[in-house]
Amino acid sequence: MITFIVRRLLGAVLMLLVVSMVTFAVFFLVPRIAGQTTDQLATQYVGRNPSVTQIHAMEVKLGLDQPIYVQYGRFLKGIVAGADYDAGPDRTHCPAPCFGYSFKNQQPVWPQMLSALPVTGSLAIGAAILWLVTGVGIGVLSALKRGSIFDRTAMSAALAGVSLPIFFTALLSLAIFRDSVPLFPDAGNFIPFSESPGRWAEALVLPWVTLAFLYAALYARLTRAGMLETMNEDFIRTARAKGLSERKVVVKHGLRATLTPIVTIFGLDLGLLVGGAILTETAFSLPGLGRFAVNAITNQDLPEILGVTLLAGFFVVLANLIVDVLYAVVDPRVRY
Amino acid sequence: MTDTGNWGGGQDGFVDVRPRPGEAEFYDSAPTPSDSFLELRDLRVQFPTDDGLVKSADGLSFTLERGRTLGIVGESGSGKSVTSLAIMGLHKNTRARITGEIWLDGEELVGASVERVRALRGKKMAMIFQDPLSAMHPYYTVGTQIIEAYRIHNKVSKAAARRHAVEMLDRVGIPQPGSRVDDYPHQFSGGMRQRAMIAMALSCDPELLIADEPTTALDVTVQAQILDLIRDLQQEFNSAVIIITHDLGVVAELADNIMVMYAGRTAEYGPTDDIFRRPQHPYTWGLLGSMPRLDRERADRLLPIMGTPPSLINVPSGCAFHPRCNYASLTGGRSTDEVPVLHSVDGEHSVACHLTAEQRLKAWETDIKPKL
């Protein structure tokens, strides 16, 4: 088991390296191949109407005049150990993990992402709990009462859930529950949990429900299909033949087997979301990573885009790692 | 003749295997409890489907006493497994329509509540399934599954149940049961898994054990061991055993009586010796002829039964076997028009066939026996 985890951990680190290389290449190598000169690259960092000397100083400061592998080395070192930007008297230290400075506001990228993280985290984890419970619950009931009115209603709702885009359901929920019937007047107005748990929750209820609706619909369908298959398995018949109560047959034997693939997908979905729930955050104006990414892209703020891409990649790799390890725990047939 | 005349008459079934003089007419309103340990009376299991009514069991009757073994033989789709699942009450809550009576130790099961049958299941009657790999839960250890089976019906501590599980594994011949108890099913070999399955089934000392093709998924060498094990355990527990199989070799080893099923009905029933020495039904002849034997010349081909088993939705009229029967023409059309009634030929030995005793004897002596 330990060797399995270590092996997976090494794999994850390797994966992150590859992610960093690809992202780095996209932002620094591809523009050169496309014909951009070092000067043009540096110009982006300097501001409006820069002088040639300013541009040149920036080139040296950022190391853009160095060969590409040296630049990648600096970039990596910045993330791991922090970076020093040294240009004569103008010396700045950027502590690890350093993703550089925003074009827009000259602030280091990492602290900005760090402050956006709790917002996305609150949104993703809250929604995840909600959709896991409701999605799996509805899926199980639907499978057990296959063809019933409950099943049909639930599956129609699920179809709506997967079909309706977030920016529609989000705006609809805002229009109704914030504006028409002001149940949640502060929806989207993020307050950290540590400041006021009540207001934290109040601001997040609508985003949670909106995001969870989509995923719950997905999970209900997955669970239903999985349960229908599992309940036809021989081991379910064996469990019944033992004289187990139907409830135990369903939960202990049926759901237990169905849940394994769902846990896998759940981990990956959550990992993806923590990297930024772009649509939900944008629709509710939540200052999370997704919105940070959207703003960065709109402003063509390269260091920010780079940072948020790498962070999102990190969460996906982390989620994969956790799911892999968890899978070995959940399914004893998986060899370590 | 039956108390279940609501299935549209036409296919009306059989007399009981063992004659109970004057009884059949009397249980119209209140069925008479059976004196036997297990008795099926005119059991019918039907599944409504979009394509029509599947008659998986079509009027089965038999009795079984403690300490005795009944072998149910037939091709795939002859209704063997459906019958056993009906006895176990595993069709309850499904779309199956079950009529007739199943008496287990003085208790009628068809009309009993789901909860009552569940309480009996695993405790009074237990079942071994064909493929032990898929029949055991892949995510729980063998021990956990045996402990679970034991604790459903016995209010004991987990530690005590675990000791019992180890003991059961030891009893069915699993080496180092103390450590194997914590293994998962996939860590067992096929034979060991079936042993564990048997240990699980026997954990509550059931009085009726149903083994549904217990050796089909196993190596030939392991098959004999498992059959020996079932026989030994039966003698130890004095339980009634039903062995369901398509392999006459298996029932020859174990069964006291054999019931040959075809298309959900009994074709022939009788003591094992009689079935093997004086088989009466052309279908039984076919089964015997298609059985590989060591003492036969290799040059002789096996004698397969022509055709395929019928669909249980469109069962052939009359005798369901007539399209595949070489002797159907001898009955003067009765085979195609009239469902043969199970009738005694010699004591317990009975057959559902329109051929006369002389015709059957002649065919057996001249056509079949020399080729076996």
Instruction: Read off the pLDDT of residues B182-198 as tens digits, 9 standing for 90 and up.
Output: 999 999 998 899 999 99
Q: What is the pTM of this model?
A: 0.80
Closest CA to A124 of A288, A234, A263: A288
Chain-chain contact of A260 with B119 (C-beta, under 8 angstroms): no
Chain-chain contact of A257 with B139 (C-beta, under 8 angstroms): yes
User: In this complex, is the C-beta atom of A331 within 8 Å of any C-beta atom belonging to chain B?
Assistant: yes
- For B263-288, letters b (16+ CB in 10 Å) and e give bbbbbbbbbbebbbebbbbbbbbbbb
The region of weakest confidence among A18-27, A92-101, A256-265 is A92-101
User: In this complex, is the C-beta atom of A32 within 8 Å of any C-beta atom belonging to chain B?
Assistant: no
CA distances from B354 to B184, B267, B317, B318, B333 (A): 53, 11, 13, 10, 10
Tell me the residue type at A85. Y
Chain-chain contact of B138 with A238 (C-beta, under 8 angstroms): no
Its ipTM equals 0.83
Nearest neighbour of B134 by CB, restricted to A234, A243, A256? A234
Question: What is the per-residue pLDDT across A44-73, written as a single tens digit (0 to 9) for each?
Answer: 777 777 788 888 887 877 777 788 888 888
Question: Cis omega before residue B340 (within 30°)?
Answer: no
Residue A227 has pLDDT above 90, yes or no: yes
Span A136-160, mean pLDDT?
A: 93
The pLDDT, as a whole number, for residue B9 is 36
DSSP class per residue in B299-348: TSPP-PPSS-PPPSSSPPSSSTTGGG-TTGGGGTTHHHHSPPPPEEEETT
User: In this complex, is the C-beta atom of A91 within 8 Å of any C-beta atom belonging to chain B?
Assistant: no
Chain-chain contact of B152 with A237 (C-beta, under 8 angstroms): no
User: In this complex, is the C-beta atom of A84 within 8 Å of any C-beta atom belonging to chain B?
Assistant: no
Contacts with B85 from chain A: Cβ below 8 Å: 237
* Angle between helix B220-237 and helix B190-201 axes, rounded to 10 deg: 20
Chain-chain contact of A332 with B121 (C-beta, under 8 angstroms): no
The pLDDT, as a whole number, for residue A96 is 75
Contacts with A244 from chain B: Cβ below 8 Å: 118, 122, 148, 152
Contacts with B88 from chain A: Cβ below 8 Å: 241
The pLDDT, as a whole number, for residue B293 is 67
Residue B29 has pLDDT above 80, yes or no: no
With CA atoms as reference, the chain A residue closest to B152 would be A244
The pLDDT, as a whole number, for residue A77 is 86
Contacts with A237 from chain B: Cβ below 8 Å: 85, 90, 129, 135
CA distances from A89 to A39, A64, A92, A170, B162 (A): 22, 19, 9, 51, 76
